[in-house]
Amino acid sequence: MDIQPITTTQQLRVGRPWLLSGHGTETNQTITLDVAKFAENTHWERGIKTVEAHFKSGLPLALNTTSGLYEPYDPAATDGHEIFAGLLDTETQFGVGSTRVGGALRVHGLIAPAKLPVAFDPAAVAKSTASLTFARA
């Protein structure tokens, strides 16, 4: 067996068109995402190599109170992730096959919901722990 190191460079898109102000950045919280709960292409994309991937920034998240991990917000759930917790603040890189990955949760700030990477209606949120302000379209 011959093992050779391989070096690659990949640039993540840091743009957050959904973020209308830097206000609230200092209140971001460190969280752990449950990778298995997210769908490829909807929530994350593969990188240059098939073993690299990244979550899209701006994903609406919730805490699953059973696992203690964050996953996509689902208002129809009954295990805690029906409570909107905030948005994934930045694109977050991980290795395909990983089960958990750390991330930053935005809980405060001014947001353009129409520019989030997935459909999200802030008016339909019944329960939330976040203090986000959503601009009207």
Confidence at residue 49, expressed as pLDDT on a 0 to 100 scale: 67
C-alpha distance from residue 101 to each of 37, 62, 95, 96 (Å): 12, 15, 9, 11
Res. 1: pLDDT tops 60: no
**∠ CA 55-42-119, rounded to 5°:** 105
Each residue's pLDDT tens digit, 38-65:
998 889 888 776 678 889 999 999 999 9
* pTM for the model: 0.86
Res. 112: pLDDT tops 80: yes
Report, as an integer, the average pLDDT of 79-96: 91
